[in-house]
Protein backbone atom coordinates (compact mmCIF):
# COMPACT_ATOMS: atom_id res chain seq x y z
CA UNK A 1 0.00 0.00 0.00
CA UNK A 2 2.67 2.50 0.97
CA UNK A 3 4.84 1.54 -2.02
CA UNK A 4 1.93 2.61 -4.21
CA UNK A 5 1.74 5.91 -2.30
CA UNK A 6 5.46 6.49 -2.75
CA UNK A 7 5.34 5.71 -6.47
CA UNK A 8 2.38 8.04 -7.07
CA UNK A 9 3.90 10.86 -5.02
CA UNK A 10 7.18 10.71 -6.91
CA UNK A 11 5.37 10.41 -10.26
CA UNK A 12 3.50 13.62 -9.45
CA UNK A 13 6.76 15.37 -8.55
CA UNK A 14 8.50 14.24 -11.75
CA UNK A 15 5.60 15.15 -14.04
CA UNK A 16 4.86 18.46 -12.31
CA UNK A 17 8.50 19.55 -12.35
CA UNK A 18 8.84 18.65 -16.02
CA UNK A 19 5.72 20.51 -17.10
CA UNK A 20 6.57 23.69 -15.20
CA UNK A 21 10.00 23.71 -16.82
CA UNK A 22 12.00 22.64 -13.77
CA UNK A 23 13.24 19.31 -15.14
CA UNK A 24 16.68 19.59 -13.53
CA UNK A 25 17.51 16.10 -12.25
CA UNK A 26 19.07 17.41 -9.02
CA UNK A 27 15.96 19.43 -8.16
CA UNK A 28 13.58 16.55 -8.86
CA UNK A 29 15.75 14.07 -6.96
CA UNK A 30 16.08 16.40 -3.95
CA UNK A 31 12.34 17.09 -3.75
CA UNK A 32 11.56 13.43 -4.46
CA UNK A 33 13.89 12.13 -1.75
CA UNK A 34 12.65 14.71 0.77
CA UNK A 35 9.09 13.62 0.06
CA UNK A 36 10.15 10.00 0.32
CA UNK A 37 11.76 10.56 3.71
CA UNK A 38 8.61 12.24 4.97
CA UNK A 39 6.47 9.38 3.64
CA UNK A 40 8.78 6.82 5.22
CA UNK A 41 8.62 8.52 8.61
CA UNK A 42 4.87 8.93 8.30
CA UNK A 43 4.39 5.32 7.22
CA UNK A 44 6.56 3.99 10.05
CA UNK A 45 5.14 6.10 12.86
CA UNK A 46 1.52 5.92 11.73
CA UNK A 47 1.64 2.16 11.29
CA UNK A 48 3.56 1.62 14.53
CA UNK A 49 1.10 3.63 16.58
CA UNK A 50 -1.92 1.98 14.96
CA UNK A 51 -0.55 -1.56 15.13
CA UNK A 52 0.64 -1.10 18.70
CA UNK A 53 -2.75 0.21 19.82
CA UNK A 54 -4.64 -2.64 18.13
CA UNK A 55 -2.27 -5.32 19.45
CA UNK A 56 -2.27 -3.88 22.97
CA UNK A 57 -6.07 -3.89 22.96
CA UNK A 58 -6.09 -7.55 21.92
CA UNK A 59 -3.41 -8.38 24.49
CA UNK A 60 -5.40 -6.66 27.26
CA UNK A 61 -8.61 -8.41 26.18
CA UNK A 62 -6.81 -11.76 26.34
CA UNK A 63 -5.31 -10.86 29.73
CA UNK A 64 -8.76 -9.97 31.05
CA UNK A 65 -10.15 -13.27 29.80
CA UNK A 66 -7.26 -15.28 31.24
CA UNK A 67 -6.92 -13.18 34.43
CA UNK A 68 -3.15 -13.00 34.00
CA UNK A 69 -0.43 -10.59 32.82
CA UNK A 70 0.90 -11.61 29.39
CA UNK A 71 3.33 -8.72 28.93
CA UNK A 72 6.50 -10.74 29.57
CA UNK A 73 5.29 -13.85 27.74
CA UNK A 74 6.13 -14.97 24.22
CA UNK A 75 2.71 -13.69 23.13
CA UNK A 76 3.41 -10.22 24.57
CA UNK A 77 6.85 -10.11 22.98
CA UNK A 78 5.49 -11.28 19.62
CA UNK A 79 2.85 -8.58 19.78
CA UNK A 80 5.49 -5.87 20.26
CA UNK A 81 7.78 -7.26 17.55
CA UNK A 82 4.93 -7.58 15.05
CA UNK A 83 4.10 -3.89 15.50
CA UNK A 84 7.69 -2.87 14.79
CA UNK A 85 7.96 -5.23 11.82
CA UNK A 86 4.73 -3.94 10.22
CA UNK A 87 5.85 -0.35 10.82
CA UNK A 88 9.25 -1.00 9.25
CA UNK A 89 7.65 -2.47 6.11
CA UNK A 90 5.17 0.41 5.82
CA UNK A 91 7.97 2.92 6.33
CA UNK A 92 10.48 1.45 3.90
CA UNK A 93 8.07 0.54 1.07
CA UNK A 94 7.45 4.09 -0.24
CA UNK A 95 11.14 4.85 0.03
CA UNK A 96 12.10 1.87 -2.11
CA UNK A 97 9.44 2.59 -4.75
CA UNK A 98 10.45 6.24 -4.90
CA UNK A 99 14.20 5.56 -5.02
CA UNK A 100 13.77 3.14 -7.91
CA UNK A 101 11.56 5.66 -9.73
CA UNK A 102 14.17 8.37 -9.25
CA UNK A 103 17.08 6.17 -10.38
CA UNK A 104 17.20 7.51 -13.98
CA UNK A 105 17.34 11.07 -12.64
CA UNK A 106 20.02 10.15 -10.11
CA UNK A 107 22.06 8.63 -12.94
CA UNK A 108 21.55 11.82 -14.99
CA UNK A 109 23.09 13.83 -12.17
CA UNK A 110 26.41 12.04 -12.66
CA UNK A 111 26.46 11.20 -16.38
CA UNK A 112 25.85 13.32 -19.46
CA UNK A 113 22.22 12.32 -20.05
CA UNK A 114 19.69 14.86 -21.29
CA UNK A 115 17.28 15.84 -18.51
CA UNK A 116 14.32 15.19 -20.81
CA UNK A 117 15.47 11.61 -21.45
CA UNK A 118 16.02 11.05 -17.73
CA UNK A 119 12.51 12.33 -16.97
CA UNK A 120 10.98 10.00 -19.59
CA UNK A 121 12.99 7.08 -18.22
CA UNK A 122 11.90 7.93 -14.65
CA UNK A 123 8.25 8.03 -15.72
CA UNK A 124 8.61 4.70 -17.53
CA UNK A 125 10.34 3.20 -14.48
CA UNK A 126 7.59 4.50 -12.24
CA UNK A 127 4.84 3.08 -14.43
CA UNK A 128 6.68 -0.25 -14.43
CA UNK A 129 6.71 -0.19 -10.63
CA UNK A 130 2.98 0.57 -10.60
CA UNK A 131 2.32 -2.30 -13.02
CA UNK A 132 4.41 -4.65 -10.86
CA UNK A 133 2.55 -3.63 -7.70
CA UNK A 134 -0.78 -4.14 -9.47
CA UNK A 135 0.30 -7.50 -10.83
CA UNK A 136 1.37 -8.54 -7.34
CA UNK A 137 -2.05 -7.58 -5.97
CA UNK A 138 -3.66 -9.48 -8.83
CA UNK A 139 -1.67 -12.55 -7.91
CA UNK A 140 -2.59 -12.25 -4.23
CA UNK A 141 -6.29 -11.84 -5.06
CA UNK A 142 -6.10 -14.58 -7.69
CA UNK A 143 -7.47 -12.27 -10.36
CA UNK A 144 -6.05 -11.40 -13.76
CA UNK A 145 -2.49 -10.23 -13.10
CA UNK A 146 -2.24 -8.16 -16.30
CA UNK A 147 -5.57 -6.42 -15.77
CA UNK A 148 -4.65 -5.65 -12.17
CA UNK A 149 -1.28 -4.26 -13.27
CA UNK A 150 -2.88 -2.16 -15.99
CA UNK A 151 -5.36 -0.72 -13.47
CA UNK A 152 -2.44 0.56 -11.40
CA UNK A 153 -0.80 2.02 -14.50
CA UNK A 154 -4.10 3.73 -15.38
CA UNK A 155 -4.20 5.28 -11.91
CA UNK A 156 -0.63 6.51 -12.42
CA UNK A 157 -1.47 7.97 -15.83
CA UNK A 158 -4.56 9.67 -14.41
CA UNK A 159 -2.42 11.14 -11.64
CA UNK A 160 0.12 12.39 -14.20
CA UNK A 161 -2.67 13.88 -16.31
CA UNK A 162 -4.10 15.73 -13.32
CA UNK A 163 -0.62 17.13 -12.60
CA UNK A 164 -0.32 18.31 -16.20
CA UNK A 165 -3.78 19.89 -16.07
CA UNK A 166 -2.75 21.83 -12.95
CA UNK A 167 0.00 23.47 -14.98
CA UNK A 168 -2.44 24.45 -17.72
CA UNK A 169 -4.94 25.98 -15.28
How many residues are present in the chain?
Answer: 169
pLDDT for 119 equals 96
pLDDT at site 168: 65
Alpha carbon distance 150, 123 (integer Å): 15
Q: What's the per-residue H, E or C state across the chain? A: CHHHHHHHHHHHHHHHHHHCCCCCHHHHHHHHHHHHHHHHHHHHHHHHHHHHHHHHHHHHHHHHHHCCCCCCCHHHHHHHHHHHHHHHHHHHHHHHHHHHHHHHHHHHHHCCCCHHHHHHHHHHHHHHHHHHHHHHHHHHHCCCHHHHHHHHHHHHHHHHHHHHHHHHC
How many domains does the chain fold into?
Answer: 1
- Tens digit of pLDDT for each residue in 6-18? 999 999 999 999 9
Q: What is the pLDDT of residue 100?
A: 96
Domain that holds residue 157: 2-168
Which mean pLDDT values do the consecutive 10-residue runs of the chain (169 residues) have? 91 93 92 94 94 92 88 86 93 95 96 95 97 96 97 96 82
- State the pLDDT at residue 169: 57
User: What pLDDT is stored for residue 112 in this prediction?
Assistant: 93
Amino acid sequence: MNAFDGALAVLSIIVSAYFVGAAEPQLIVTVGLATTIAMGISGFTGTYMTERAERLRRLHELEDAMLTDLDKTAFGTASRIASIYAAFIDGIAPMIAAAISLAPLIIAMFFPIAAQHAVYAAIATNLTILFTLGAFLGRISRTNVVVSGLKMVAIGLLTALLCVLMKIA
